[in-house]
Amino acid sequence: METLTDQTWLLTVGTFLPLLGALVLMFWPKDDESGIKGVGILTAGATMLVGIYTLVQFDYGQSAKLQFFVDAEWIPVIKSGYTIGLDGISLPLYVLSMAVTFLVMIYTWDNMPDAGNTKAFLILMLVLQTGMAGTFIAQDLILFFVFFELVLLPMYFMIGVWGGEDRRYASLKFFLYTMFGSAFMLVAFLALFFQTGGESFGFAQLVEAGASIDRDVQIWIFAGMFLGFAVKVPMFPFHTWLPDAHTQAPTQGSVILAAILLKLGTYGFVRIAIPMLPEGAKAWAPAIGILAVLGIIYGALGCLAQTDMKRLIAFSSVAHMGFVMLGISTLTSFGINAALFGMVAHGLITGMLFFIAGSVKHRYHTLEIRRLSGMLIQMPRMGWILGFCAMASLGLPGLAGFWGEFPAILSAYQPGFGLSEPLFRTLMVIAAVGTVLAAAYLLWLYQRTAFGEPSDEFKGHSDAEHAAVDGHGVAHSLSAAANDHTHDGDDAHEEIHDVQLTEWLSWTPFLVAIVVFGVYPQLMFKVMDPAVTQLVERLGASLG
């Protein structure tokens, strides 16, 4: 694998800068809330700047090659090195992780979860960021594994400490589930290592040597990796941790979980499992395809059954990641490109939806769909943003979600390497039906929550309503006053205001990105396509 080795410091700095911030925070006085948040934002912002610099320095003409490549000694005894690099496949996700952390930090300024202890919260977030970024740059299995697992604990605590009612159960479930997958994944990594002659854990070497492993052995090793990655994705039937974790997690946790963490699994498939074990991948592809499509339908049905807005969004992740996996399972560059785009798109859109869910919860103190209605009257901007994200999520062309779904569905028409066409075409049609279901549950959600009149419970508590009242005549004011009077004793809801400054700050980039990538997807396809094409070509070479 050809590499470019200029500016070798860049990735290391970008990845470990958050840890430095975490270290600083550790010694920051606990009472200085704004100072702590400031340091957090500053660190994440600096990391983001490094990310932007990386974007600038990246050689887009050679995006199939690993750039900023470093291959330093780390654990020589087990033949694992500090091998890092960035190519077109990982660049979008790497930068996305930085951006998401930064924006979530900004969001936290005004929206600290109730449990308090900002310091610990932000430290965890920064550690999380290092883990996420590291996973995307690692070019060595062991390094990958370390970063992959590094995200576990911070997320466990984030859910467990700052989460909702049922957080204890949810956090432990999340943890054990993922642990289960990664334990088998580690075993598979080692098996792969020894089957390739035990020479190196470096990706490049394993991709070279992996193809020559016996087919049966490949299938077994792939099975181990499949467990690890599929749990993380999550694929049906390993998804049950996800709704619980998402529902219980604090907003920030949900956003990061949806935007980045789930992608670690799919990224693992694209980066590790498939290129290193071509025969295994081919043997498993139909199963993955079937499970992916099951996930699409199943996730959608799950959504239709939900009464809780956040849980619904969580279930929709299962469906959306199904599209991503469907794309991957075709083993074509078309599908894998789609999957990679889908990852980023899903990260932006579902991340945004979780932001909204968090803010709604913050204002209404409930996410029960039947209690929420008329959001457009009480918080018009929030309501429209929700609508926008729902539309993006259901795959409306012109918004980012489409470019993950549409090519993925398309690619299933003609899977690669002699995979069964009738099977995948059937899957394609079912997946296409899945888009209808997606429309159904998202619009249903939107209709129930945003349209209509506000329920009596919350009526008259919003800024927007007050403003409307002020604009009318005396009679209105009188009736409004009377209206207010009846709710005087009920202060809990007197805080339904529209989108606020920090929310705007943290959301706008998401919204802009959804539109920009939706309108001009080439921005991302151009970066990914050469790398993916090369990957699939190599796959073709080893599969004959």
Partner 1 sequence: MLGLLLAQASDWITPVIDWHAVAPELVLVVGVNVVLLLDLNLADAKKWMLATLTGFVMLGALVPVVTLAVIGDDSRSLFDGRYVIDEYALILKAFFLLVAYVVILMSQTELEEGGYYQGEFYVLMLCSVLGMVMMSSARDLISIFVALELLSIPAYMMAAWRKRDVKSNEAGVKYYLLGVFASGIMLYGMSFLFGSTNSTLLTDIGAALTDGDLNGMEVVGVVFVICGFAFKISAVPFHTWAPDTYEGAPTPVTAFLSVASKAAGFVALVSIIFLAFPNASDVYQPLLWVLAALTMTVGNVLALRQTNIVRLLAYSSVSQGGFILMPLAFAGNSNAGGSALNAVVVYLLVYGFMNLGAFAIVIAVSRKTRSGEISSFGGLFGYAPGLAVAMTVFFASLAGIPPLGGWFAKFNAFRAVLQAETNAAYVLAAIAAVNTVISAAYYMRVLRSVWMDDAPDGDQSPVVTPSPIVAALGITVIGTIVVGVIPSAVTRFAELKDLTGAVVP
Partner 2 sequence: MVAAEVAQLSSGWFLENAWLIGLIPAVGFAVIILFGKKLPMQGSEIGLGTLGASLVIATGAGIQWMQRTNSAETEEAAAGVLRGVARALPRASEGGAAEPFIEPVSSTWVWWQNSGLEFGLGSSIDGLSVMLLWLVAFISFLVQIFSLDYVRGDRRYTHFFAAMTLFSSGMLIMVMADNMVQVILGWEIMGLCSFLLIGHWWEEEANSVAALKAFFTVRVGDVGLLVGTAILFFGANQYAVDNLDTNGFDLDAIQAWALSGQASTWTIVMAAIALFIACIGKSGQFPLHTWLPDAMAGPTPVSSLLHSSTMVVAGVFLVAQIYPVFWEGFNIANGGLSFIAVIGGITIVISALLAFVQDDIKKVLAYSTVSQLGYMMLGLGVGAWLPAVFHIFTHAFFKCCLFLCAGSVSHSGSHHSFDMKKDMGGLRKFMPITFGAWVVSTLALTGVFPFAGFWSKDEIIDNVGNNGYTFLFWVGLGGAALTAGYMTRATYLVFFGEPRGAAAGEHHDDHVVHADDHALVGAATHSLSAATNTDDGHGDHADDDHGHGDHGHDDHGPHESGKLILFPIVVLAFLATVSGFTNATPLGESWEQFKKYVEPRPEAVAFDAIIASGPGESVQLVVPAVAPAVEDDGHGEGAGDDGHSTGCGRGEPEAATACFFPAVVHAEPKFAKILLSLAVVAAGYAAAIAFCIAFYKRRDPRLVGLTQRSRVARAGYKFLANKYYLDHLYEKIIVRGVAHPIADAAYWINQKVLDGAVNGVGEGGKRAGNWVYDNIDQKLVDGAVNGSGLVASESGHAMQPMQSGKVNQYGALLFGAAAVGAIVLVILNVS
Distance CA 429, CA 409 (A): 8
191 binds partner 1 (CB under 8 A): yes
**Please, which residue, 247 or 393, has the CB nearer to partner 1?**
247
Q: Is 73 exposed, middle or buried (0-12, 13-18, 19+ CB in 10 A)?
A: exposed
**Please, which residue, 10 or 186, has the CB nearer to partner 1?**
186
**Please, which residue, 177 or 507, has the CB nearer to partner 1?**
177
Q: What is the CA radius of gyration of the chain?
A: 23
- 72 bridge partner residues: 82
**Please, which residue, 185 or 312, has the CB nearer to partner 2?**
312
By CB under 8 A, name the one of 68, 102, 157, 406 that touches partner 1.
157
Distance CA 114, CA 167 (A): 13
**Please, which residue, 414 or 542, has the CB nearer to partner 2?**
414
**Residue 510 CB partners (closer than 8 Å, separation 6+):** 103, 348, 351, 352, 355
Total residues at interface with partner 1 (CB under 8 A): 39
Comparing CA positions, the residue from 284, 296, 298, 297 lying closest to residue 330 is 284
Contact stretch for partner 1 (CB under 8 A) within 167-175, 203-211, 285-293, 520-528: 167-175
Task: Convert 211-244 to b/e letters by CB count within 10 Å (16 or more is b).
Answer: bebeeeebbebbbbbbbbbbbbbbbbebbebbbb
Contact stretch for partner 1 (CB under 8 A) within 6-14, 150-158, 242-250, 265-273: 150-158
By CB under 8 A, name the one of 95, 138, 161, 367 that touches partner 1.
161
Three-class SS state of 338: helix
20 binds partner 1 (CB under 8 A): no
Q: How far is the CB of 191 from partner 1 (least distance, A)?
A: 6
Percent composition of the chain: helix, strand, coil (DSSP 3-state, to 5): 75, 5, 20
By CB under 8 A, name the one of 52, 72, 78, 305 that touches partner 1.
78
Q: How far is the CB of 4 from partner 2 (least distance, A)?
A: 21
Q: How far is the CB of 362 from partner 2 (least distance, A)?
A: 24
Q: How many Cα atoms within 13 Å fall on the side-chain side of residue 396?
A: 15
136 binds partner 1 (CB under 8 A): no
Phi, psi of 417 (to 5 degrees): 55, 45
Region at 79 (left for phi over 0; alpha for psi -120 to 50; beta for the rest): left
**Please, which residue, 154 or 278, has the CB nearer to partner 1?**
154
Length of the chain: 544
Pick what 77 binds: partner 2, partner 1, none; C-beta below 5 to 8 Å, kind-dependent.
partner 1
77 binds partner 1 (CB under 8 A): yes
Q: How far is the CB of 126 from partner 1 (least distance, A)?
A: 14
Q: How far is the CB of 318 from partner 1 (least distance, A)?
A: 22
Q: Cα separations (Å) of 374 from 6, 96, 314, 470, 481?
A: 55, 33, 22, 19, 21
- Please report the sign of the dihedral spanned by the C-alpha atoms of residue 352, residue 358, residue 362, residue 363: positive
72 binds partner 1 (CB under 8 A): no
Instruction: Note whether 238 and 226 are within 8 A (CB).
Output: no
Q: How far is the CB of 334 from partner 1 (least distance, A)?
A: 35
**Please, which residue, 287 or 305, has the CB nearer to partner 2?**
305
Q: How far is the CB of 128 from partner 1 (least distance, A)?
A: 13
Q: How far is the CB of 262 from partner 2 (least distance, A)?
A: 18
Instruction: Note whether 496 and 460 are within 8 A (CB).
Output: no
Q: How far is the CB of 209 from partner 1 (least distance, A)?
A: 15
Residues 101-120 that bind partner 1 (CB under 8 A): 117, 120
Give Cα 132 distance to the centre of its chain: 11
Three-class SS state of 82: strand
Residue 177, token pair as written in the block:
């589930």
Distance CA 375, CA 483 (A): 19
Residue 155, token pair as written in the block:
């997320």
Pick what 171 binds: partner 1, partner 2, none; C-beta below 5 to 8 Å, kind-dependent.
partner 1
Pick what 449 binds: partner 1, partner 2, none; C-beta below 5 to 8 Å, kind-dependent.
none
28 binds partner 1 (CB under 8 A): no
Contact stretch for partner 1 (CB under 8 A) within 106-114, 141-149, 263-271, 504-512: 141-149
245 binds partner 1 (CB under 8 A): no
Pick what 510 binds: partner 1, partner 2, none; C-beta below 5 to 8 Å, kind-dependent.
none
Residues 192-211 that bind partner 1 (CB under 8 A): 193-195, 198
Q: How far is the CB of 136 from partner 1 (least distance, A)?
A: 16
520 binds partner 1 (CB under 8 A): no
**Please, which residue, 8 or 117, has the CB nearer to partner 1?**
117
Three-class SS state of 31: coil
Footprint of partner 1 on this chain (CB under 8 A)? 73-78, 117, 120, 142, 145-150, 152-153, 156-157, 160-161, 167-168, 171-172, 175-176, 179-180, 183-184, 186-187, 190-191, 193-195, 198
